[in-house]
Amino acid sequence: MRPPGALSCDDTATAVAVGVLAATLAVIGHETIGHGLGCMGSGGHVTLLTSIWFRCSQGTPLSDAGGPLANLLAGFAAIVLLVTYAKPQPAGRLFLFMFGALNLCWFTAQLAYESLTGTHDDWYWLLQSRPALWRPLGALGGVGGYVLATRWFSGVIRRLRGPQAHAILLAYAAAAGSAVVSGLLWQPEPLRSALEGFLTLGVAPVGLLRIARSSRAIGREVALGPVPRSWIWIWVGFALFGAFLFIQARGLGPMSASVLPR
């Protein structure tokens, strides 16, 4: 076992692949599964699906709420697996950690931002119904939930003896970078899509920087397990990301060649 404070031995390629995989699956959960099922459940059909944009022929609360609901369920599923699966191997532990954090940060940050700004997006169906009530409650719930989520993930590091700050930062940077690359592939508005992807998976989960600092502090007291080279995670991560770029990021649906209204 490494002594506390020893230098990180995390494998860069594996941590990057895990971050890319966690981000890609979070996007698929929110856009493809969440919004997609909500759209079909409301009797509509998908008119646009990219790495960060979704449009449905039927703009209903169900189609809008599907994305955030998918984030919430996926985040809690990752938490349950982290808590109940006693000894996941290091790369699997990092994946569950990142997947849970990305989904819950996305959910809470989006709720807080839309409540504070009144943005017309996934939460508009609720916030516009009684704005004097729901906007303050949404802001409190989003900010409070974000703080609680980041604190919980900081605490779980000591219990699980990992992941290390180095692995978290590598996976976080890879997740943000993958969102930018994915956005650039939608030709009608590549820069706008890349910026939106960066805000969603780069800025919204900025709490991971605080979690990484906590991990670094814990690492001075106890030995945290490094992430070794895992070709399975590397191949799965980049194979799924490549398929995602080729199939979804380029745009699907009849609006895929159209510029979105401002």
DSSP-derived secondary structure for the chain:
-PPTTPPP---HHHHHHHHHHHHHHHHIIIIIIIIHHHHHHTT--EEEE-SS-EEESS--HHHHHHHHHHHHHHHHHHHHHHHHSS---HHHHHHHHHHHHHHHHHHHHHHHHHHHH--SSTTHHHHTTSHHHHHHHHHHHHHHHHHHHHHHHHHHHHHHT---HHHHHHHHHHHHHHHHHHHHT-TTSHHHHHHHHHIIIIITTTHHHHHHHHHHHHHTTSPPPP----HHHHHHHHHHHHHHIIIIIT-BSTTTTSPPP-
Q: If pLDDT is split at 50, 70 and 90, which confidence band does 65 have?
A: very high
Contact by Cβ (8 Å): 37, 92:
no
Average pLDDT over residues 73-82: 94
Q: Tell whether the model's pLDDT for residue 200 goes beyond 80.
A: yes
Asked if pLDDT for residue 7 goes beyond 60, the answer is no
Per-residue pLDDT at 3: 46
Question: Buried (b) or exposed (e) across 176-202, using 16+ Cβ within 10 A?
Answer: bbbbbbbbbbbebbeebbbbbbbbbbb
Q: Is 72 a residue whose pLDDT tops 70?
A: yes
Residue 26's pLDDT is: 98
pLDDT score at 5: 43
Say what the pLDDT of residue 87 is: 66
Cβ-based neighbour number of residue 243 at 10 Å: 12
pLDDT of 4 > 60? The answer is no
Kindly report which listed range (1-5, 105-109, 192-196) carries the lowest average pLDDT score: 1-5
Q: Tell me what pLDDT residue 86 has.
A: 57
pLDDT tens readout for residues 83-134? 887 567 899 999 999 999 999 999 999 999 999 999 889 999 889 889 999 9
CA trace torsion 15, 17, 21, 22 (10° rounding): 10
Q: What is the mean pLDDT of residues 64-88?
A: 90
Domain residue extents for the chain: 12-32+72-249
> What's the pLDDT at 1?
44
Q: Report pLDDT digits (tens) over 209-241.
A: 999 999 999 888 877 889 999 999 999 999 999
Query: In this predicted model, what pLDDT tens digit does every residue of 126-179 receive, in sequence order?
Result: 898 899 999 999 999 999 999 999 999 998 888 888 899 999 999 999 999 999
Sign of CA dihedral 174, 176, 178, 181: negative
Specify whether the CB–CB gap between 202 and 176 falls below 8 A: yes
Structure confidence by residue, pLDDT tens digits, 22-64 = 999 999 999 999 999 999 999 999 999 999 999 999 889 999 9
